[in-house]
Amino acid sequence: MKWLKPFKVAALASVVGVGASFSIQAEELGYPEKEELTFGFIKLTDMAPIAVAYENGYFEDEGLYVTIEAQANWKVLLDGVIDGRLDGAHMLAGQPIAATMGFGTKAHIITPFSMDLNGNGITVSNEIWEEMKPNIPKMDDGRPVHPIKADALKPVVEKYKAEGKPFNMGMVFPVSTHNYELRYWLAAGGIHPGYYAPHKGDTSGKIDADALLSVTPPPQMPATLEAGTIYGYCVGEPWNQQAVFKGIGVPVVTDYEIWKDNPEKVFGITAEFAEKYPNTTVRLTRALIRAAQWLDENDNANRPAAVKILSQSNYVGADYDVIANSMTGTFEYEKGDKREVPDFNVFFRYNATYPYYSDAIWYMTQMRRWGQISEDKSDEWYKELAAKVYRPDIYMKAASSLIEEGLVQAKDFPAADEDGFRDPQTHFIDGIVYDGTKPNEYINKFSIGLKAGDKI
């Protein structure tokens, strides 16, 4: 067997500590309690840390023998983690929160590791693009000015409504980043994406909607668009670039332009797994941190190698060129309109892998905004739920041990006084500032969406 010696986790006061929420004391972490593991994923480029940890031998370095299995959709994946068929999985950031909260399937899911920043886009059909173009400012060379706001789509949606035609759009799951990003972009342009009313048994999310959003699994997005079933969608890569490659649609905006450096996927496990197998949990987190670092190091020098891995049929299985379009620092909008977007996919920079409470709370504010949380909740409620799901204590235990071994550098991790909240974030497409310590104040800033006291 390939083993690392048991390592010591030092106090490392200059590096670790998430406020008073936890403290790492010197202790010895032993061998993994469970060695053979099965992890699930959806065929998206942001599953890369799992594939790289496997292919580069980082899981084996930890004494973990991992099988990686693609899943049909996000519900099947979540159910697999809950029923134990999967030990852990690449998850939508909203899934552990929603499950722990009891929206949909009730289960206590946690995340010790955030998988990436950015990585999504919103694509429309060629027909819709032609109708939007007159509403978009042009640069001197004739190309559209980016970011493209939903203001350009609003007259198109209004025209369809006037003609009695529903304006259908796709997203990948009701608690996905994609759902919230698409809703955010639409609402910022004055297009209402609809409310949920779970207390009334309505989980369609289409109450009062101008644009009707429904679930389509990521790999099926381009075909559904081509068939005319939907007019646009929000999805992760490579399924926006696939639309360009096939000549069936145009990505109009990336999530980097909607919310710069937004958190995207997480690695999810049950709370029961983490409690039963604490050493295994820290060790798998170590392997994922090393993979994320490899993906971003030396100004993304390893990305071509990563693209080669991801293009294998057992991982994402899309053409090398399609995956490389976004993974290597560019993004192609219209055919031939390829632009530099060096941070379209971020796996390690900007503390991408650290599970911030404020990231979890942002998702909850959007759940409340669109009615998935039916009634007002206190700021404390948001913070307490975030702390139940996001586990920076496990993450920093893994990070501190890697620092001690010289495998990563302390400067790449949060400082000792980190409280689990990012500074107020300003880079949103509508200019609204997000402060995770004040969720209710944030919710009340939006012109479209539920506010304090509102209930459908």
Q: Lowest-confidence range among 155-169, 296-310, 411-425, 434-448?
A: 411-425
Range from 166-180, 330-344, 367-381 carrying the lowest mean pLDDT: 330-344
Residue 289 has pLDDT above 60, yes or no: yes
Confidence band of 3 (pLDDT split at 50, 70, 90): very low
CB neighbour burial string for 365-395, b if at least 16 within 10 angstroms, e if fewer: bbbbbbbbbbeebeeeebbebbbbbbbbbbb
Task: Name the band, by pLDDT with cuts 50, 70 and 90, for residue 27.
Answer: very low
Count H helices, E strands: the chain? 18, 18
Q: How many angstroms separate the Cα of 182 from the Cα of each of 46, 110, 165, 316, 373?
A: 18, 25, 20, 23, 18
Spell out where 42-119 has E strands.
65-70, 88-92, 109-114, 117-118
Summarize pLDDT for 105-134 with one digit per residue, the tens: 899 999 999 999 999 999 999 999 999 999
| Span 210-233, average pLDDT | 95
Higher pLDDT, 1 or 391: 391
> Given pLDDT bands bounded at 50, 70 and 90, which one contains residue 164?
very high
pLDDT tens digits for range 305-336 = 999 999 999 999 999 999 998 899 889 999 99
- Would you place residue 28 in the very low, low, confident or very high pLDDT band (cuts 50, 70, 90)? low
pLDDT tens per residue, range 144-163: 999 999 999 999 999 999 99
Secondary structure (3-state) at 133: helix
* Interval 47-57 mean pLDDT: 98
Q: What is the mean pLDDT of residues 201-214?
A: 96
| H-state helical runs in 328-415 | 357-369, 379-389, 392-404
Residue 417's pLDDT band, with cuts at 50, 70 and 90, is low
Task: Catalogue the E-assigned strands of 178-285.
Answer: 195-197, 202-207, 211-215, 232-236, 249-254, 265-270
Whether the per-residue pLDDT at 172 is higher than 90: the answer is yes
Q: What percentage of the chain reaches a pLDDT higher than 70?
A: 93
| pTM for the structure as a whole | 0.92
94-105 average pLDDT score:
94
Measured CA to CA, the distance from residue 255 to residue 212 in angstroms comes to 20
Q: pLDDT tens digit string along 264-286?
A: 999 999 999 999 999 999 999 99
pLDDT above 70 (res 228): yes
What is the per-residue pLDDT for 182?
98
Per-residue buried b or exposed e for 143-155, using 16+ beta carbons within 10 Å of the residue's own CB: ebebebbbebbbe
